[in-house]
Amino acid sequence: QALLVQSGPEVKKPGASVTVSCKTSGYTFGSFDINWLRQATGQGPEWLGWMNPNNGHTGYAQKFQDRVTMTRDTSTRTFYLELSSLRSDDTAVYYCVLDKSWFDSWGQGTLVTVSS
Partner 1 sequence: DIVLTQSPDSLAVSLGERATINCRSSQSVLHSANNKNYLAWYQQKPGQPPKLLIYWASTRESGVPDRFTGSGSGTDFTLTISTLQAEDVAVYYCQQYHTNPPTFGQGTRLDNK
For residue 87, the surrounding DSSP H or E stretch is none
Contacting range for partner 1; rule: CB under 8 A; set: 8-16, 18-26, 44-52, 73-81: 44-52
Q: Which of these segments, 7-15, 37-45, 65-73, 76-84, binds partner 1 (CB under 8 A)?
A: 37-45
Question: With respect to partner 1, which residue has the nearer C-beta, 80 or 107?
Answer: 107
From the list 17-25, 65-73, 78-86, 99-107, the region that binds partner 1 by CB under 8 A is 99-107
Sign of CA dihedral 50, 96, 64, 81: negative
Residues 47-66 that bind partner 1 (CB under 8 A): 47, 59, 61-62
Q: What is the largest CA-CA distance in the chain?
A: 42
Residue 85 interacting with partner 1 (CB under 8 A): no
Report, in Å, the least distance between residue 34 CB and partner 1.
14
Close Cβ partners of 70 (under 8 Å, ≥ 6 residues apart): 34, 36, 49, 50, 51, 58, 60, 79, 80, 81, 82
* 101 belongs to the binding site for partner 1 (CB under 8 A): yes
Q: Which residues of this chain interact with partner 1, rule CB under 8 A?
A: 35, 43-47, 59, 61-62, 95, 101-104, 106-109
